[in-house]
A = this chain, B = another copy of it.
Amino acid sequence: METTPEQIEAHVSAAHEAYEAARDVPPAVRARWLTAVADRLDAHAAELVALAVEETHLTQPRLTGELTRTTFQARLLAAEVVAGEHLDATIDHADTSWGMGPRPDLRRVNVPLGVVAVFGASNFPFAFSVFGGDTVSALAAGCSVVHKVHSAHPRLGARTAELVVSALEDAGAPAGLFSSVHGRPAGPALIDHPLTRAGAFTGSEHAGRLLFDRANARPVPIPFYGELGSINPVFVTRAAWQARGDEIVRGYVASYTLGVGQFCTKPGVLVVPAPVDERLATLEAAARDVAPAAMLTPRLASSFRIARDALVQRGGVDLLIRGDASDTPAPTLMAISADRARADRSVLAEEVFGPASLLVGYDDEAELPGLAALFEGQLTATLHAEPADDVAALVRAIADRAGRVLWNGWPTGVSVTYAQQHGGPYPATTAPSTTSVGTAAIRRFTRPVAYQAFPDHQLPPPLREANPWGVRRRVDGAWHEPDRAR
């Protein structure tokens, strides 16, 4: 099943040719390609979800929801392409009275980068895999994609890829615009290939950093958009704890055990007033309510066992709810005092991928901003507070180290929208100024080109005076909505 080096060479070459053939198609055509794939996957939902259940042990409702989200995402990004948001088309007409001296006619547009290597994730077999956010945003940008299927769901990956390829072909896209490869050696080979222009990855900090370093060590470095690890701490004020502690505890357990604790946004730490065992009965009841299920792969189950055991044995860590690391692990809950966490902040940096989490007990609410500052970069950080709480310093502290901050919510569940930011400071990601979810994800795969004093007919369509693609543009400093009536 492993793709050979010769095959990888052929995939990347074909992807480059397809990129060349497809890069200039009008947005409406590109949008049709994306929606054609979404339609095809929806039409095969039952088959795909059944395969996914078999290979991932995730539940059918969870997987059905994930597929819905995946095809919704493709259609939302297709609409964004038609609007031309990602092009950032900007026109400055020649201006002899420009303040620093005469300005030539300058027009800028974002162009696609080329072949993108996309790495599938183990834990989202649809939304962060074959036709997930990275693939869809790269295709939306006008790039081509060679996708490395994750070994956790090889049959689902192969079948999904087959459907993507055939839907693209039926929609008239050039062959090779999307293809998939298998096997561990494919990863470095894709990152090293001279025709690869960007990498996109969701996975472990270890593997992600290796690939990031490799992308930067190339003779010609390429951007590497890696989503690595995150603890996703949640901070609870005293007032919130008193007003609705049981509700918070139930939400917490549901969130950290969701999908057997295998979400990148799983809350790995809950910071609450001491004593942390105050709500133990509710915690235990909530943990008992969690339906047992197997983890994604034996390898992840083994990693979970090791990481859980290591955390349990850390100095100052108490076992509050024992749980286990069996084939269908019962939730584990540990606890540590704020003082001990301050003395060894590395305890707050250990991501345990699976159904385990850590309570941190504080004595004084004024400690919270300082505790927040102990954490490394995060995808999310959450605050549970009451309206009268003075949390300005805490809000700032969590916003300082996370890509998304939540108020009285739970970080699992990432809506695909215009404003979404799924990213964050290292080690949450290798590129904190970008997002891998939402419409803003498209721009990762473009770069700007400015055209100076070009004749109108030699310009790319979005920069021509008549705006034939009907995209939103900034002209002489002011934004103009397209005339959609045309």
- Residue positions of A touching B, CB distance < 8 A: 65, 68-69, 72-73, 75-76, 90-92, 98-101, 103-104, 106-108, 111, 212-213, 216-217, 220-221, 223, 376-377, 387, 391-392, 395, 399, 402-409, 415-421, 423, 425-427, 430, 432-433, 435, 440, 443-444, 446-455, 458, 472, 474, 476-477, 479, 481
- A419 contacts B108, C-beta separation under 8 Å: yes
Q: Chain B contacts of A212 at CB under 8 A?
A: 216, 221
A449 in complex: contacting residue of B216, B402, B407, B415, CB < 8 Å: B402
- B416 contacts A100, C-beta separation under 8 Å: yes
- A454 contacts B407, C-beta separation under 8 Å: yes
A289 CA to B135 CA in the complex, in Å?
56
A420 in complex: contacting residue of B108, B395, B425, B444, CB < 8 Å: B108
What is the CB-to-nearest-CB distance from A285 to chain B, in angstroms, rounded to a whole number?
26
- A452 contacts B405, C-beta separation under 8 Å: yes
Instruction: Identify the closest chain B residue to A408 (Cβ).
Output: B453
- B433 contacts A106, C-beta separation under 8 Å: no
Q: Contacts A68-B101, A75-B99 hold; do A405 and B479 have CB atoms under 8 A apart?
A: no
In the complex this chain forms, how many copies of it are found? 2
- A223 contacts B433, C-beta separation under 8 Å: yes
Q: Chain B contacts of A108 at CB under 8 A?
A: 419-421, 440
Q: Chain B contacts of A101 at CB under 8 A?
A: 65, 68-69, 415
- A420 contacts B450, C-beta separation under 8 Å: yes
A453 in complex: contacting residue of B75, B407, B453, CB < 8 Å: B407
A91 CA to B450 CA in the complex, in Å?
29
- A104 contacts B216, C-beta separation under 8 Å: no
- A220 contacts B407, C-beta separation under 8 Å: no
What is the CB-to-nearest-CB distance from A199 to chain B, in angstroms, rounded to a whole number?
14
What is the CB-to-nearest-CB distance from A85 to chain B, in angstroms, rounded to a whole number?
9
A-B CB contact pairs (8 Å), 27 listed: A72-B99, A72-B100, A90-B419, A98-B415, A100-B415, A100-B416, A106-B415, A106-B417, A108-B421, A220-B425, A387-B455, A391-B458, A403-B448, A404-B449, A404-B450, A404-B451, A405-B450, A406-B452, A407-B451, A407-B453, A418-B474, A421-B449, A421-B450, A432-B447, A433-B444, A433-B447, A472-B479
- B481 contacts A479, C-beta separation under 8 Å: yes
Q: Contacts A65-B101, A405-B452 hold; do A418 and B458 have CB atoms under 8 A apart?
A: no
- A419 contacts B65, C-beta separation under 8 Å: no
What is the CB-to-nearest-CB distance from A3 to chain B, in angstroms, rounded to a whole number?
27
- A446 contacts B419, C-beta separation under 8 Å: no
- B107 contacts A419, C-beta separation under 8 Å: yes
A450 CA to B436 CA in the complex, in Å?
13
A419 in complex: contacting residue of B92, B221, B421, CB < 8 Å: B92
- B417 contacts A103, C-beta separation under 8 Å: yes
Instruction: Identify the closest chain B residue to A398 (Cβ).
Output: B449
Q: Chain B contacts of A476 at CB under 8 A?
A: 418
Q: Chain B contacts of A449 at CB under 8 A?
A: 399, 402-405, 421
What is the CB-to-nearest-CB distance from A178 to chain B, in angstroms, rounded to a whole number?
22
Q: Chain B contacts of A392 at CB under 8 A?
A: 458
Q: Contacts A425-B447, A433-B448, A450-B405 hold; do A417 and B65 have CB atoms under 8 A apart?
A: no
What is the CB-to-nearest-CB distance from A152 to chain B, in angstroms, rounded to a whole number?
23
